[in-house]
């Protein structure tokens, strides 16, 4: 078995946990390939025998990899998705961050996680992505998002008006600071912060959620994910911001944009004890009211 390990970078305490992970992988004779960000001249990884390889780009991940392990928070998981792309390499997220809806396995569960990989005691969940079509090239060779696509007004410019269409039929003109189109996976992210609904990961739906809408009767709407959502943006400013997960582009307002379901999915590794419901209860502290004690 062979796994890739990705992180944006680790602090000294987390490097110790990386060493623990590598030792556990070696115990089960699982080969490790580390992203270049983890193997610097002062990295603690240098304390181990040089029996690991390195990778730096998505192109380095071929069919020989059985898994990729993401060390960090949900933002690191989103980066990992841009590395995996359509390769169908299952992603296991170890939470070195804070909230951790995507990276739901705790850093104190490293031994359990590796044992689960080695013995096949896990399930994989298919997660839908969004694909952006635009009249100009945007987001390089990765115009897709696991969490959300969003349109924002720039800095301190006035609100924008976003004319929105479903399969070419007019839906609404949103007077707002912006608009979010979220996948079920992203429904617990920016969408939730803007009072959008939480969707189960296997829902075949997207959520359209306005950001600070001017009209009080405008609410988030859940739509089937087989719709193509297109936009025309108006505003006093000549430019606005487009984001896909944590990546952003400055776009002129005459650029045409459309969102659809991506042709491929990302596979997430889930341990049997880490269900979506248990993650919701833990991360949102549902059912932990002190009055229940």
**Residues recognised as catalytic:** 74
Is the sign of the CA dihedral 190, 230, 173, 241 positive or negative?
A: positive
> Distances in Å between the alpha carbon of 164 and those of 173, 226, 230, 256, 278?
6, 16, 6, 11, 35
**Between β-strands 91-95 and 105-106, what pairing exists: parallel, antiparallel or unpaired?**
parallel
Which element (helix H / strand E) includes 282?
helix 276-283
> Distances in Å between the alpha carbon of 150 and those of 16, 243, 272?
37, 5, 33
**Between β-strands 2-6 and 31-35, what pairing exists: parallel, antiparallel or unpaired?**
parallel
Q: How many CA atoms lie within 13 A of 1 on its CB side?
A: 19
Q: Are 36 and 6 in contact (CB under 8 A)?
A: no
């Amino acid at each position: 078995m062979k796994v890739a390990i990705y992180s944006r970078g680790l602090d000294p305490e987390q490097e110790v946990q990386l060493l623990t992970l590598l030792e556990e992988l070696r115990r089960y004779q699982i080969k490790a390939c580390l992203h270049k960000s983890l193997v610097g001249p002062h990295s603690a990884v240098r304390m181990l025998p040089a029996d690991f390889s390195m990778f730096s780009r998505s192109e380095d991940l071929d069919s020989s990899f059985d898994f990729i392990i993401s060390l960090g928070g949900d933002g690191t998981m989103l980066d990992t998705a841009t590395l995996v792309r359509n390769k169908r390499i299952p992603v296991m997220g170890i939470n070195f961050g804070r909230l951790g809806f995507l990276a739901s396995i705790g850093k104190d569960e490293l031994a359990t996680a590796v044992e689960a990989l080695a013995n096949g005691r896990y399930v994989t969940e298919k997660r839908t992505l969004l694909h952006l079509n635009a009249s100009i090239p945007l987001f390089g060779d990765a115009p897709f998002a696991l969490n959300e696509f969003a349109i924002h007004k720039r800095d301190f410019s006035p609100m924008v008006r976003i004319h929105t269409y479903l399969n070419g039929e007019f839906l609404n003109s949103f007077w707002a600071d912006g608009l979010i189109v979220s996948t079920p996976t992203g429904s617990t992210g920016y969408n939730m912060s803007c009072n959008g609904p939480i969707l189960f990961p296997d829902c075949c739906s997207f959520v359209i959620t306005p950001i600070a809408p001017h009209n009080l009767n405008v609410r988030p709407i859940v739509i089937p994910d087989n719709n193509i959502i297109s936009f025309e943006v108006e505003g006093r400013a000549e430019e606005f911001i487009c984001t896909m997960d944590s990546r952003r582009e400055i776009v002129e307002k005459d650029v045409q944009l459309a969102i659809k379901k991506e042709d491929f999915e990302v596979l997430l590794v889930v341990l049997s004890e880490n269900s979506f419901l248990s993650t919701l209860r833990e991360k949102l502290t549902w059912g932990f009211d002190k009055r229940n004690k």
